[in-house]
Each structure stands twice: as structure tokens, then as C-alpha cells.
Chain A
Amino acid sequence: MDVRYDFGGDEYIFVDFDIEMSLEVNFKILSICQEIERERIAGVIEVCPGNASYLMHYRPEEIDPEKLVKELRKLEHQADHITSISSRMVDIPVLYDDPWTKECARQFGERHQDPSVTNLEYLMRINGFSNKQEFIEAHSGRPYWISMVGFVPGTAWGYQMVPRARALQAPKYVRPRTDTPERTVSHGGAFMAIYPVRGPGGYQLIGMTPVPVYEPEGRLIDLRETRILAKAADRWKLRPIDLDEFNAIRAEVEAGTYRYRIVEQEFRPAVYFEDPEGYLNRLQEEAR
């Protein structure tokens, strides 16, 4: 792997591991970022793991940029493979093909590759599906590995834990939208993401979840500490629901009584790579 170090202006270092996405690379990045945090290098403000890269923010008054790059290269070579990652299984109810995101897609049609169909229909076509139900089953069947957190507070990139040949893919909008409804479930590249707040974006819009992934007011018990649902290394299991269940969950969220279904587990990458399907099934059984 040819790792590339680059300066992002005078306060950032961008470290690019690969131009393509893989869980192998993401596991390695998460392990290096944890190593950097443990090292507590003077002048480092924070490190932000990306899908196949990471971004470091630092103060050049406290550490010389060239020297910092040397330190980071050393850590890159020292970082061992993670043998076990603590990873939460999180249940995410989703109303696919909902009215709100379809309306948003209509509104920004001129920025889209094909405004004559819904974003979900566009994704079906690109990925070779003719049946909507089959597409929804494929999209929600396997959990998504949270490989990166960012964009706006609470956004998380979910990479579906399927063989690459089965991964659903989508281009981003030709020009990003200036608006997207809160809690939109979306897909871009090989990633699923949920919009935590209303705002700009470029992913394809395919559904809506009733549960917040960001709650600035801190009313829901499970989000009180950080106000954010996602943690890197989570596994999010999407669960298709109908409008009645959507409304029922919304009512609980608005009353402040909703509790997320979260199960803490130890995740072993080596075991996963040996038998992905069997291992995920075992973890899912344990989580019940």
C-alpha cells in the first residue's frame, strides 16, 4: 500500500491510504487513528478517520509539519492489525420510498442524472433490480459498518458488509442539492448515510428514518452524552417499516421516551474475513 502524506494548508495533514474503499483498509485506518490518540503528540488537535484516508488537525506553532509527518509515518508502520474492535449493533427503522424525500428529489431534479424517475428507481436500475421489494431487501438485509463519521454532526458512512460484487453503488448528484430533509436515508458511492439535520448534500435519497441520529437538545437518553448516535466501528442494521410504525416511533421520539436498540459486541476482523456470512449471522443471533 503506497500511503500518501499531503499538507492541507497550514493546519491540516491529509493521509491517503487508497483510492478505493475496502474494510481491510478501513480497519487499518481505525487502528492507526487509535494509536495516534494514545500517543498524545504535542500540537495535535485531533485526528479524523476517513473511509480510506485520515485528516489530522494540528497547530504548526507547537509541532513542525515536516516532523509531524515523520512521526505519523513511524506510527503507520508500527500499527498492528486490530484483533478485536468493540462494535455496537444498532437497529435503524426505515420507511423506504417515503413521500418527503421523493418531493425533495423532485425539487432538485435539475441537479440529478435522471430527473424522470425517483432516486430509488434510479438506484434500482443502476444496480440491476427490477423489483422494488427485492431492492429494499438487498439494501436492508446486511448490516452497515460505520467506517467514517462526519460531514455534519452525526452523519456516518455505512459500508454494507457484503461481498464487493453485491455492494450497491450510486453516483452522487451532478451538482449537490442545497437542501435535504432531516433523517433522510441516502446512498452515494458504496455508502449508506442518514442526514442528521436539514442541509446540503449530494447522495441519492431513498427513505426516511423516524429516529434522530443527531439531537442537539439532548432529550433522548441514549444520545445525551454526545448528542450523536454514530460511533466509528458501529454496525447499523436497517429494518424496513411501514408508515404506521414510522408514526408510532415518531410519537415516542417526540415524547422523549424512545430508546434505541443497541447491543455492544466484540468484533473480530480476522474471523469476519474467514466466514463473513456465518460470522454476521452468529453476531446477529447473539444480539437478539
Chain B
Amino acid sequence: MLKILRPGLLTTIQDAGRFGWYHIGMPPSGAMDQFSFRAGNLLVGNDQGAAALETTFLGPDLEAAADVTVAVTGAPLELRLNGEPAPMWVALALRAGDKLQCGQAVAGVRSYVCVGGGIDVPELLGSRSTYLLGRFGGIGGRMIAAQDVLATGAPRRSATELTGRRLDPRLLPTFPEIAELRILMGLCSYRLTEESIAQFLSTPWEVSTEADRIGYRIHGAGFQFRDREPPFGAGSDPSNVVDVGYPVGSIQVPGGKEGILLMRDAVTGGGYATIGTVIQCDLDRVAQAAPRTRFRFRAVTIQDALRLRAQYKARLRMLADSLALFDSVGRLGQ
């Protein structure tokens, strides 16, 4: 069990996500930076998708109400255990009464507090993830508050087995100020002129302050539309289309002034033209992009996207393998 002393800025319970309900308007939610989240779960011996805490800019202060193993991953922040500096990306053993303080992120946005056994809240539609806009999942669909006591599941492995496990630093993500995002252009990009598409792909886009789990508004050169007679039912603005489903990762261009890159709490459909979809593994980078971060978009094909997806999955497998190696070397040394 974990007791929340201070909740941080915006801390929610998230897991791998809630899938299969997009058709009723329910987005997947789930950890925004899946790689860091899954790495944290691996460290504490969980399934990769076990529920954890996702922090935003400023993490929570927690007290262990019972012995528990914890790993903090994702955006680097100043982590303290009972007042002493403690490392991230390492399994830490907390005794009942120990206090863990997660400070402010020094780069990136979101960190993950993963707990042996996972955070145990009821599953709703197959997931424990919090969907704030829909007031759904997690604890009553809301962010974590001071005095909350979070139940944890039965840990798979003992604290003695887990403590001190660390990941190969070469496999850990970086948090750059300029992020390249790979995108499949298409969907309703037929609404844009050729020049506008070329400009979108050749100029930088800056993350605005309106950037959250629903979507990231990005500012740059703007968009120019092809002339047309508005089709029946679309609306007269050149960016309007008859309402379509929006993939998670797609970019819509309301009014042509800005882009909105939809994230895991996305609105599932609507009437603005979408111009392409960022590949799923690059959404981890978006999740860690603070306002004023610059994006550059690179167009890829479906074949490229599948190759990059396979590489991402391979990196996750290497994480698991490096931990198995650490475990066996650790045992040999004893």
C-alpha cells in the first residue's frame, strides 16, 4: 500500500490502455510514454502493462504503508528516499514508513512510479487507466489527491530478489529539445495544397502550452487548403470535413492555423481534416515534449512504420533480457 502525502501537479493511475471501446468514444488512455512505463514495470518484476502512477512535471510524495518495491522511470527528476538522493531506473526496496519524494522534472514531462504487484484499483472495461475528461477509471476517474491510499497487488518476486536491479543505460530513452517524429501522411491530407504539405514536412513545429493527455497543439508555418465547394454536411471552413474517426497519433488542422496531435486521451472523431498519423512508438517522444519543444516531421511509408515498430518491440525485449542477465550475474556473484 502507498499513501499519498502530496499528489504532485497531475498524477494519474495508468496502465497499458483500454482497447476496443473507441467506437463508443472511449479513448485508450494508458501511460503516455509506454517505453518508460514498461521499463519500470519490468524492473519491479511486473507484467509490462501493470498499473502505475504517471506524473506530470512535478511528481508526488509517497509513504509506503507496507514493504514494497518501487522503480521510478521516465522524465528525469530529483528523487529522494527518506531525504537521501535515490537513483531512477533502479528497483528500490521501501520499508513501511519510508518516504519517497519525486521532485520536479529537469527534462521531459512524465515520470512513472511503478510498484511491485502493480496498483490495484478496479478494472473498468478491461483497464485500470484513468481517463480524466470522461471521469472514468483509476480512482473515480480523477487525478491522485493527498491522503489517497493506493492498494497494491501481490508482488511476483520478493524485495530481496528485485532490489538494486537496473537497466542497461544504453537502452534508456533521451529527452531532446528537438524531436523527430515519423508520420504516415494521408487521411484527409487531400484538403492541403502540395506546397503546404511540403512546408509541413520541411519546417519546425513548436509545442504550445496547450499540450496534455488529449492532444498537443503545435504552432508553425500554418496550413493552406485547396479551393473547393464545401461538400454537403461538412461545414464551410476549408478545414471542415464530414466527421471522421481520428486515429490516436493523427494531426488535425482546425482553421489551418495550428495542428493538434492527438494523444492517448484523444477525442475519437470529429469534423476537422486530419493530415496524417505519427507512428505509435514515436508518441513516447511526444509524451515527453514540454511546451516550446520543437518537432520535425518525417514522412514514412507503411513498410517503414512496421520496421520501426519491430525495432521498438525489439528494444523492449532487450530490456527484459538485460534484466535477466543482471539477475543471473547477480546470483553468480553471491
- Does B244 reach chain A (CB closer than 8 Å)? yes
B289–chain A nearest beta-carbon distance, Å: 18
The docked-state distance in angstroms from the alpha carbon of A16 to that of B271 is 14
The docked-state distance in angstroms from the alpha carbon of A54 to that of B269 is 10
Interface residues on chain B, size class:
35 or more
- Does B103 reach chain A (CB closer than 8 Å)? no
Taking A172-B240, A202-B270 as contacts, is the C-beta distance between A149 and B23 under 8 angstroms?
A: yes
**A176 / chain B contacts, CB cutoff of 8 Å:** 254, 272
B233 touches A10 (CB 8 A): no
A150 touches B184 (CB 8 A): no
Interface residues on chain A, size class:
35 or more
A117–chain B nearest beta-carbon distance, Å: 17
- Does B234 reach chain A (CB closer than 8 Å)? yes
B302 touches A216 (CB 8 A): no
A181–chain B nearest beta-carbon distance, Å: 14
A189 touches B254 (CB 8 A): no
- Does B187 reach chain A (CB closer than 8 Å)? yes
- Does B231 reach chain A (CB closer than 8 Å)? yes
The docked-state distance in angstroms from the alpha carbon of A158 to that of B241 is 16
| Stretch of B7-15, B85-93, B128-136, B148-156 on the interface side | B128-136
B223-237 interface code vs A (CB 8 A; 1 in, 0 out): 000000001111111
A20 touches B232 (CB 8 A): yes
- Does B26 reach chain A (CB closer than 8 Å)? yes
B242 touches A19 (CB 8 A): yes
| Stretch of A42-50, A129-137, A257-265 on the interface side | A42-50
Taking A10-B305, A149-B24 as contacts, is the C-beta distance between A202 and B271 under 8 angstroms?
A: yes
| Stretch of A1-9, A73-81, A83-91 on the interface side | A1-9
The docked-state distance in angstroms from the alpha carbon of A152 to that of B270 is 10
**B192 / chain A contacts, CB cutoff of 8 Å:** none
- CB contacts under 8 Å to B, within A66-109, are 66
| Stretch of B62-70, B108-116, B276-284, B319-327 on the interface side | B276-284
Residue with the greatest number of chain A CB neighbours at <10 A, chosen from B19, B23, B231: B23
- Does A200 reach chain B (CB closer than 8 Å)? yes
Q: Name the one of A48, A164, A171 contacting B237, with C-beta atoms under 8 angstroms.
A: A171
**A205 / chain B contacts, CB cutoff of 8 Å:** none
Interface residues of A (CB under 8 A from B): 6-12, 14, 16, 18-22, 45-55, 57, 60, 65-66, 148-155, 157, 159, 164, 167, 169-176, 178, 188-191, 196-197, 199-200, 202, 214, 216, 226, 228
Given A48-B268, A175-B258, 12 more pairs with CB closer than 8 A:
A19-B234, A21-B231, A46-B21, A53-B242, A55-B247, A152-B133, A153-B25, A169-B235, A174-B254, A214-B134, A216-B134, A216-B135
Interface residues of B (CB under 8 A from A): 19-26, 133-136, 141, 183-184, 186-188, 210, 214, 231-237, 240-250, 254-255, 257-258, 267-272, 277-280, 302, 305-306, 308-309
Q: Which 9 A-B pairs have the closest CB atoms?
A: A21-B233, A55-B245, A9-B277, A8-B247, A20-B231, A150-B269, A12-B247, A190-B233, A48-B23
